[in-house]
Structure 1
Amino acid sequence: MRISTSQIYDQSLTAILNQQTKLANTQNQISTGKRILNPSDDPSGSVQILQLQRELSLSNQYVDNGVIAGNKLEREESTLDSATNLIQRVRELAVQGLNDSNSQSDRQAIATEMREINEQLLSLANTKDANGDYLFAGYATSTQPYTNLFGNYQGDEGQRNLKVGEGVLIATNDPANHLFEAPVTQTSVTPTLATSNAAVSIANDPSLLPPFAALTFDFSAGPPEEYTVTDGTNTATFAYTDGASVDLTTLDPAFPALDLVFTGAPSDADQFVIEKQSTQTTITPSLVTSSATVSITGDSGVLDPFTALTFDFSAGPPEEYNVSDGTNTATFAYTAGEAVDLSALNPNFPSLEVVFEGAPNDTDQFVIEKQAGTAQTIFKTIDNFATALEANNVGAGATPNNGDFLTNIDAVLTNILDGRAKVGGRLNAIDQQKEINETLAFNIETDLSAIKDLDYAEAISRLSRQSLSLQAAQQSFAQIKDLTLFNFI
């Protein structure tokens, strides 16, 4: 086959250029440290690199989100910690203010400190984060949660979330109404009377009453001078004494010391039921006469184990009545104005001071129960208590009930402590997810490096080999181009 001179030149030049291209590519790889400089170098590897880079970017974004969420939650936790300390101080002041040894000036000083703390609490509820967003406004982060001590919550129920991991969302805030508000406890007595001259009162704080089915005082269960009390389990009979407290521990030794006092002349049909539904205590009368009343000045929080506490004057003679809590029943002799000892109904029953007044009829009935309360801010609760202190309207027989203030304060304190626990749980979740994200990012970077990073030992060896090949091509071309017959003529 005849090979022309031009063909020899073209082939040699092509070989030299190919070797130069390979050598230049290897040099670029070594200088950049990358194995794949162009997608055409490794199409499959290029696709894997793009996918891994997206995963790495997402993992890094999760880490950044965790930092942002952590900062917000740490700010919230710090705020709630301060709120906890302030509310605990308010509670200490409330207990101190209830001490009968305080003078009016003492209570005025306590009220003044309470109002100062109240302003601090309002400021905490309106705390902003580093971006100027309100922490406790839900989704409405530009809306101030509370404009003043007496205003309603202005935010919404939403919680802003940040994604800190695949399928992992962390709430970065809490609505203020879930923290600084709680259903209020209020105590009232509603009798059902056959006569108009019977009444009952709860003299000490009934908010301590555990929830129960019903505590019923029934005047139809015995002689006119007695009545029965039942808590749904136990029943005790009491002698009726106008204005005397009822000792409910005769109903159940474990019953708290509610001080119930009947006044008036209850009828045999009279009945009083003390019942607790949710957070408000009411006494519901069913009276044949209008002269019977009942009062509760104890802590109604002790009503919690029951649904209702019923005082029924229809269960016996006119001088007696039954008290039932839905489980126990006890019969008491009616004494107007004396507290009812509810331990006769249940030994575990607290000593609510229930006092009847007037002359209850045999068909009279009083029911003391808890009813659902509406939410009230801690600011309003503190203001109410401070107002009561300033008016010296605290202590035995105060209205509204002293124990209700403490119960309402404790309810908000419980909300805030629960909120802090949830925030702590979220912070722990962020820390755990951060470790997961960092481990995932390390694994992705390892896989990415294996695909795109250059093996320097192999590349340098290849560079040396390609350099030698280029020199050989150049030298061989130099020798071949000198082959001509003219050199031999």
Structure 2
Amino acid sequence: MRITTKMFYDRFLSDMQKNMETIFKASEQISTQKKINRPSDDPTAMSRILGYTTSISAIGEYKRAIDSAKGFLDAADSSFARLNDILTRAKELALSGATGTTDANSRLMIAKEVGVLFESAVGIANTKVGDRYIFSGYKSNIAPIDVNTGEFVADTNIFEVSISQTIEIGLNIPAGELFSFKRINSTDPQNAILPSYNYNFDSTNDPLTGEPETPPDADPISALHIRNGGGVADPTALNSGTTNGGDLTITVGDNDTTPITINIAAGASLNDVRDAINAANAGVKANIINFGTSSSPDYRIVIASNPVGQSDKIKIVVSQTISDGAGAGLNRFSFDPDYQDDPVKSNMRLDADGIANYNYIIDTSNPNYYSFNNNYLNENNVLRVLHFLKVSLEMNDIGRIQKALDYINKVAEKVYQQQAEVGARLNKLDQEFNFQDNRENDLQTYLSNDQDADIPKLTTQLAQSQAALESLRVASSDFLRTSLFDFIK
């Protein structure tokens, strides 16, 4: 093959261009610290880089959402911790107020502290994070509890935020689930949420007994009364239900090894039956309540445990000289908790159809739904139970103060459950944050492998290319100085 000068020239120029390109590319990668600066550098790698970048950006959004969610849930967790402290103190005050050695004036002083606890609970319900109320559902711009009426005025929606592609988590627990509730109708009285004490001491002595008037039993869910028209218009008159007389054997609980038998005389009035039961000290207390109205009275005996809280364990067995048939006569006073629906063994029942003061009402259409003594509301709402305790202390009603202890325990259990829910959400946030953080680190590694320049390697390569270019320049300069005449001579 014939080698010409032009071939030398072209080769020198080509090699010089390649070295210059190498130097330019190395310099660019060193200055940008990226080995791919345009799609044409490596289309496949650029596609991966775009995918990694998009995923890392999404992870950043999820991590910011997790941080925001933790702020709300940490505030809720702290609120529930403070609420537990309030309920613990309320229980201590209730125990103090329920003792027989505490007088009425002392109970008034205790009621004042309970009032302060009530105000603190309202403040907790109206907790804000930034400019948002954490217990208001979607209506996070308004306080969930009306400080004047105690009513829940927000909504019960759960505000959720995405913390991954497939996971959403609630930021809030609406106050209507725990602190208070809404009136059913806007026309309902404003004091329906925190009703007034509804047993009126309207006379010095009980009109039935002539004795000083006392509040009826404070344990409405556990009251027993005669079913199926067992009431009478005059509790002092002869009662056809006791025509033949007989015995009532009363036990309270399976561990009661000393049942008490009470003899009911033939023809005893409802008052006589009540007095005989109360005189026997059988672990129960009998009251006579008018289920009807003043113009159409319907008096019945209501029996509850004494002290309150064990009425579901009462068992009353009837023994009559002459049987009047199933459900008749003295049998109307029989009760067995294992056979509450048996018409023979359980003619008294553990409920209170239509009696204010003896209700566990969940039906909002019932006119007694808002009753001061409605167990359902008292044991499910923090503000309601604190109000119940405060008013019971003010009214010196030991029975209802004792009942408030039961309410506080049940509300406290709800608080613990809600706090556990918040704790579970916080744990989920921590787990998801760690997962997203690890995933982000992995993606950053993959991105670095495809995108980041190897600076030491490029520096070496740049030095080599510069040396080669310089050598090529010197050689080409010396060679290309020769001319045709140099070859002729």
Matched, 1:474 2:473: yes
Alignment of 1:29-428 (within 5 A): 29-129=29-129, 131-181=130-180, 204-206=217-219, 209=222, 224-226=244-246, 239-240=263-264, 241-244=272-275, 246=277, 258-261=284-287, 292-296=299-303, 298=305, 302=310, 315=326, 318-319=329-330, 321-325=332-336, 327-328=338-339, 370-372=360-362, 375=377, 377-392=381-396, 394-395=397-398, 401-428=400-427
Q: SS at 2:338's partner residue?
A: strand
Q: Evaluate the alpha carbon distance shift between residue 221 and residue 391 of structure 1 in structure 2; reply closer, same or farther with a 3 A threshold.
A: closer
Deviation at 1:41, TM superposition (A): 1.1
Deviation at 1:64, TM superposition (A): 2.4
- Which amino acid counterpart does residue 458 of structure 2 have in structure 1? A
Tell me the distance in 2 between the aligned counterparts of 1:6 and 1:330.
117
CA distances 1:86-135 after superposition (whole Å, capped 9, x unpaired): 12211221232222322221111011111111111111111111x22111
Tell me the distance in 1 between the aligned counterparts of 2:480 and 2:328.
140
TM-score where L is the length of structure 2: 0.68
Tell me the distance in 2 between the aligned counterparts of 1:88 and 1:156.
28
- Which amino acid counterpart does residue 51 of structure 1 have in structure 2? G
Tell me the distance in 2 between the aligned counterparts of 1:43 and 1:330.
80
Q: Evaluate the alpha carbon distance shift between residue 168 and residue 134 of structure 1 in structure 2; reply closer, same or farther with a 3 A threshold.
A: same
Is contact 1:226–1:317 with CA below 8 Å preserved after alignment?
no
Is contact 1:135–1:141 with CA below 8 Å preserved after alignment?
yes
Is contact 1:33–1:453 with CA below 8 Å preserved after alignment?
yes
Deviation at 1:49, TM superposition (A): 0.9
Deviation at 1:305, TM superposition (A): 8.7
Aligned to 2:190: none
Aligned to 1:434: 433
Is contact 1:90–1:117 with CA below 8 Å preserved after alignment?
yes
Q: SS at 1:173's partner residue?
A: coil
CA distances 1:314-336 after superposition (whole Å, capped 9, x unpaired): 747745534235634899xxxxx
Tell me the distance in 1 between the aligned counterparts of 2:317 and 2:24.
99
Q: SS at 1:260's partner residue?
A: strand
Tell me the distance in 2 between the aligned counterparts of 1:378 and 1:310.
39
Is contact 2:169–2:425 with CA below 8 Å preserved after alignment?
yes
Q: SS at 2:35's partner residue?
A: coil
- Which amino acid counterpart does residue 140 of structure 1 have in structure 2? K
Q: SS at 1:243's partner residue?
A: helix
Deviation at 1:390, TM superposition (A): 2.2
Q: Where do 5+ consecutive residues of structure 1 fail to align?
A: 189-196, 264-282, 332-343, 346-351, 355-367
Which structure shows the bigger proportion of residues in helix conformation?
2
Tell me the distance in 2 between the aligned counterparts of 1:316 and 1:239.
19
Q: Evaluate the alpha carbon distance shift between residue 138 and residue 316 of structure 1 in structure 2; reply closer, same or farther with a 3 A threshold.
A: closer
Tell me the distance in 2 between the aligned counterparts of 1:395 and 1:30.
85
Over the aligned positions, Cα root-mean-square deviation in angstroms equals 4.8
Q: SS at 1:295's partner residue?
A: strand
Is contact 1:73–1:172 with CA below 8 Å preserved after alignment?
yes
The farther-off stretch of 439-448 and 216-225 is 216-225
Tell me the distance in 2 between the aligned counterparts of 1:122 and 1:81.
14
Tell me the distance in 2 between the aligned counterparts of 1:27 and 1:329.
92
- Which amino acid counterpart does residue 245 of structure 2 have in structure 1? E
CA distances 1:444-486 after superposition (whole Å, capped 9, x unpaired): 1121121112334543443344234323432343134223124
- Which amino acid counterpart does residue 244 of structure 1 have in structure 2? D
Which structure shows the bigger proportion of residues in strand conformation?
1
Tell me the distance in 2 between the aligned counterparts of 1:258 and 1:370.
20
Q: Where do 5+ consecutive residues of structure 2 fail to align?
A: 183-192, 199-207, 209-213, 231-238, 255-259, 265-271, 353-357, 363-368, 371-376
Tell me the distance in 2 between the aligned counterparts of 1:468 and 1:305.
101
- Which amino acid counterpart does residue 395 of structure 1 have in structure 2? I
- Which amino acid counterpart does residue 414 of structure 2 have in structure 1? N
